[in-house]
Amino acid sequence: MNDRVATAVLGTGSRPWTPSTAPVHAWLPAGPLPWRLLLEAGVDELRARAGRALGPGQALPTAPPEHRAQCSPELAAVLQELLRHRDRDLVALVLDRLAARGRRVPPALLPALLRDARIRALPNTWIAGGERAAWLADQRRGWAPPGPLAVHGDLLEEGTPRERLETLRQLVATDPAAAVAWLEPAIGTEPAATRRAWLALFDDPPPAVAEPLLVQALTDRSRKVRERASALLRSLPGSELAQACAGAGVHCLAWQGGRWDVVLPASWDPDWGEPPPGPDEGARTRQAGALIATVPLGAWTAATGRTPVETVAALDPSDAFVAVAWRHAALVARDTAWLTALMDRALGTGETGSAYGALIDALPSELLALRAPRALRVRDWAQLLPLLKALDRPWPLPVARAWVARFYELAQQVQHGQLDPPADALQSVRAAALALPAPLLVLDTRTWVDRLAPSRGQALVAQALDDLAHVLAVRRRLEELLPAASGEPRE
Amino acid sequence: MALPPAQVVSLAPNEGAVRRAGQSRPLHLWRDLGRTEQAAWGFCSGSREYTVKVDPAGTGWSCSCPSRLQPCRHVLALLWLHAEGAVPTAPAPGWVQTWLDRRARTAAGPRKGPVDADAQAKRASQRMARVQAGVEGLEIFLQDRVRDGLGNLADGGYALFEDQAKRLVDAQAPGLARRVRHLAGVIGRGEDWPARLLAGLGRLGLLVEAFHSLPSLPPPLAADVRRAVGWSLRREAVLAHRDRVIDEWQVVGQWEDPGEELVRTLRTWLLGRSSGRIALVLNHAPGERPFADALPAKGVVPGELAFWPSALARRALVLARGPGGPATASPGGHPTLAAYLAEAARRLGANPFQREDLACLAGVRPGQLDGRPALIDRAGQALLVPIALPAALLAVSGGAAIDVTGEWDGHRFRPMGAWADDTWTPLP
């Protein structure tokens, strides 16, 4: 701080100060001391601005050369509008096409794209973004691509609770043994909620190396932590706890006369860990379900001598908890035959909800696509919507045709005033607009808006219709500007 | 001339208006649509039926809906339909012709009457007296701050400055009021705030001295001092100055200053392709209203500008403009930062009271200076930018040398646009 600033901070009333005699200040008018000080400061500020000194800087490294051609300005304009409106479904559609056709996003659009990709994973961002996207992600924290990342050890020790959780999540995904090694001494010093959240990182399903950590947590001072550890150990095939439960679980179902009889356990054995949490009502059923879920699925087909489809079909509709237990076991084991059988059951019973969603997530799209046409003929829109959304785009023709037929049925009911289109049906219209193969897009969809127009008075319908018109317009424009290559599956 | 759909979107006061305009766009919601060269019109069904008329160029509109935001959804939807060619030609009905006649009368300006020179001189003299009183008050205020010590401003200093700014507004010296408010924002911000505040107060002191010396200043510099204090010029006065330039004007920067007291300002910097003249065009808009007659954010606009009298003429108004087109060449710029700073010093010498200057820098790369974001020239010298390098600048440069334009305030460079890969990218 120079003398003049020091005087100004304290005040000329408190600190003595002598005006400058430098030639540059000589022309300044005489006046009271504070005024003279101010004018000198003003002159020096002007001089500083006029004689600003530069310092040596360090330039960033340059981005690697691109290997993909930039997309056309017309398609870039379309993408820019979509990014501006944060229409991620359509952005993903454009990215897929760019990736398939060896094109890339113009650099000017990358910031908006990477911001969006950070909020929701957009497949093909890093392919269609080209080398520049990867380079840009290197320059800005938070724009890095998802996936295995180098775990920042300091964050585990010194990060915020959220940073520690995220770092652990990455470590569990990339090196579960290292995660367990770090957690075993550290977990005991954390609050119960943190201990539970950390254990939950092994939920999908737990790796074998996590067993000692989970066994350690069976004696945790918090009941909720013990419950979480018990549930995880029961999901870990081969763990001692799972084996003990499976030994009991196999007796919970008896195969008699071509049907399953449920035999509820008389009481909960402490060797099975903490019982599954929940209200007293239905506790025994819940406990039986937890035991049944630990039994290897092959045990049930061995008992019946039938296929998984037949084994599941033999279950009484009222014993839904058994289907839930089998689903849990099938998800852990990633057993496609059982998952398919359970999916058929779920479609047959009109099931919806998160468990149904987990089943859809676990099954490959082609298996779902085989089931979709029949479901489209008979099921509710609430059940159809998650199924349709999970299908790969573009939809196979049988699915597309079944959807169009169902849509016309709906439109007819709307036109005759028999029905207001349900929200799930309207959402499925958007899903279809995104996924119908191009020929159907041209032939069948131009009149959709008119067909649902009688319900336009409802805000929801009006909004869905505007959205639909927008999606269709963008898809048609995309087909014009960058059609699918001849070698690709033709839309 | 019809606006392209992208420019219709840019007229919207916010994103919600664009979405709602999309809802009002389907043709079955409209009846009696028609258009001529000068207007497009129609009746749109909403919660009731609204009468909508627009100038196809987007410079005027009218709608009977009660929307607070302008242009409303119906106006945007009609412009959109017009841009898509969905509005048929038709003779203008009487209610549209009435509107067009009224617009023509407004554009022609107020009716000329005899000028009362005495009354004018009296008003000017009254204003000068009020401003002089305000400036004297400011001088006392500045001296008091230095006498009492800037350190005492850490508590309650902002309110003190705000009161002074209000007094200057009452004294019809809004330019000085703005500078005082700006300095209030320096108090307590950053470790070196007393030094920065003193520097700003010092410049304000020099402006006060310059105001006291107005009669002895060269006329162009006197005009700069008057404008810095807060005198504005009427359009006729700017025209009378006769500094008018016809050129292809390349937009080299545009940003919106949220401003004070609910009036936003759009600052558009232009560079004459042939004349090399630099121009700053300001548009003002209250609240969330769009800027009337705003220039596009990029491209080249042919037209005639009239410059304010000044020792360093920058501020200009648009007298006439033709249809714009894309920029096909870089605006170019100084080859090194040192060359630009030498030019900036010359400009500062011409008008010491200008706050920001346009800087066109050729061949600069993104980088760092002492860990802070900066632009690096080919000689390896660095110029700091505030806070962070704009993401779009990083993206279009990819670390390579590009041409960048921005505002230089004597301390930091605020990037406004970049030329890379034969394309101009405005930097938000």
Q: Is residue A52 within 8 angstroms of chain B, CB to CB?
A: yes
Q: Is residue B199 within 8 angstroms of chain A, CB to CB?
A: yes
Q: Is residue B4 within 8 angstroms of chain A, CB to CB?
A: no
- pLDDT at position A458 is 61
Nearest in space to B147 (alpha carbons), one of A16, A41, A30, A22: A16
Count of CB contacts below 8 A, A vs B? 188
- pLDDT at position B43 is 93
- pLDDT at position A488 is 43
Q: What is the 3-state secondary structure (H, E, C) of chain B?
A: CCCCHHHHHHHCCCHHHHHHHHHCCCHHHEEEEEECCCCEEEEEECCCEEEEEECCCCCCEEECCCCCCCCCHHHHHHHHHHHCCCCCECCCCHHHHHHHHHHHHHHHCCCCCCCCHHHHHHHHHHHHHHHHHHHHHHHHHHHHHHHHCHHHHHCCHHHHHHHHHHHHHHCCCHHHHHHHHHHHCCCCCCCCHHHHHHHHHHHHHHHHHHHHCHHHCCHHHHHHHHHHHCCCCCHHHHHHCCCEEEEEEEEEEEEEECCCCCEEEEEEEEEECCCCCEEEEEEEEECCCCCCCCCCCCCEEEEEEEECCCCCCCEEEEEEECCCECCCCCCCCECCHHHHHHHHHHHHHHCCCCCCEEEEEEEEEEEEECCEEEEECCCCEEEECCCCCCHHHHHHHCCCCEEEEEEECCCCEEEEEEEECCEEEECC
- pLDDT at position A350 is 83
Residues B198, B181: Cα–Cα separation, whole Å: 14
Helix (H, G, I), strand (E, B) or coil at A117: helix
A120 against B348, higher pLDDT: B348
Per the CB < 8 Å rule, is B382 touching A54?
Answer: yes
What distances in angstroms separate CA B263 from CA B169, B285, B290, B336, B358, one per listed residue?
Answer: 15, 6, 11, 37, 23
Residues A181, A184: Cα–Cα separation, whole Å: 6
Residues B160, B295: Cα–Cα separation, whole Å: 38
- pLDDT at position A491 is 37
Can you give the residue ranges of every domain in chain A? Answer: 3-139, 253-363, 375-481
- A327 Cα to chain B: minimum distance (Å): 43
Helix (H, G, I), strand (E, B) or coil at A58: strand
Q: Which of A39, A60, A468 should be substituted to probe chain B, the one whose Cβ sees the most B Cβ atoms within 10 Å?
A: A60
Enumerate residues 353 to 382 of chain B having a beta carbon within 8 A of any beta carbon in chain A. Answer: 365-370, 374-376, 380-382
Least CB–CB distance from A9: residue in B6, B18, B151: B151
Q: Which of A49, A110, A138, A477 should be substituted to probe chain B, the one whose Cβ sees the most B Cβ atoms within 10 Å?
A: A49
Residues B2, B82: Cα–Cα separation, whole Å: 7
Nearest in space to A428 (alpha carbons), one of A459, A384, A469: A384
- pLDDT at position A152 is 52
For residue A159, with 0-12 CB atoms within 10 Å meaning exposed, 13-18 middle and 19 or more buried, which class applies? middle
- pLDDT at position B121 is 86
Per the CB < 8 Å rule, is B148 touching A77?
Answer: no
- pLDDT at position A413 is 79
- Reported ipTM: 0.73
pLDDT for B162 beyond 90: yes
Per the CB < 8 Å rule, is B23 touching A12?
Answer: no
- pLDDT at position A486 is 55
Helix (H, G, I), strand (E, B) or coil at A82: helix
- B73 Cα to chain A: minimum distance (Å): 14
- pLDDT at position A466 is 74
pLDDT-above-90 percentage for chain B: 57
B366 contacts in chain A (CB < 8 Å): 59-60
Per the CB < 8 Å rule, is B382 touching A56?
Answer: yes
Residues A24, B96: Cα–Cα separation, whole Å: 66
CB B319 within 8 A of CB B305: yes
Q: Is residue B23 within 8 angstroms of chain A, CB to CB?
A: yes
- A21 Cα to chain B: minimum distance (Å): 17
CB A485 within 8 A of CB A101: yes
pTM for the predicted model, two decimal places: 0.68
The DSSP code for A488 is: S
Q: Report the DSSP beta bridge partners of residue B268.
A: B254, B281
Which whole number is the average pLDDT over B62-76? 79
Q: Is residue A9 within 8 angstroms of chain B, CB to CB?
A: yes
* Residue B108: band (very low, low, confident or very high) from pLDDT cuts 50, 70, 90: low
B375 contacts in chain A (CB < 8 Å): 57
Per the CB < 8 Å rule, is A35 touching B143?
Answer: yes
Which whole number is the average pLDDT over B288-312? 89
Residues A404, A187: Cα–Cα separation, whole Å: 54
Residues B258, B424: Cα–Cα separation, whole Å: 24
Which whole number is the average pLDDT over B324-349? 92
Least CB–CB distance from B23: residue in A51, A61, A462: A462
Q: Report the DSSP beta bridge partners of residue B264.
A: B285
Q: What is the 3-state secondary structure (H, E, C) of B270-328?
A: EEECCCCCEEEEEEEEECCCCCCCCCCCCCEEEEEEEECCCCCCCEEEEEEECCCECCC
Contacts 24+ apart (CB under 8 A), B6-12: B6/A77, B6/A81, B7/B58, B7/B296, B8/B58, B8/B76, B8/B79, B8/B80, B8/B83, B9/A81, B10/B297, B11/B58, B11/B71, B11/B76, B11/B79, B11/B290, B12/B71, B12/B76, B12/B290
B23 contacts in chain A (CB < 8 Å): 462-463, 466
- pLDDT at position A149 is 42
- pLDDT at position A490 is 41
**CA angle at residue A214 from A209 to A219, to 5 degrees?**
150
A41 contacts in chain B (CB < 8 Å): 198-199, 201-202, 205
- pLDDT at position A460 is 64
Contacts 24+ apart (CB under 8 A), A283-291: A285/A321, A286/A321, A288/A249, A288/A252, A288/A262, A288/A263, A288/A264, A288/A321, A288/A325, A289/A321, A289/A322, A289/A324, A289/A325, A290/A231, A290/A234, A290/A245, A290/A325, A291/A245, A291/A246, A291/A248, A291/A249, A291/A252, A291/A265
pLDDT for B377 beyond 90: yes
Residues of chain A with pLDDT under 70: 1, 119-120, 141-142, 144-155, 158-159, 439-462, 485-491
pLDDT for B90 beyond 60: yes
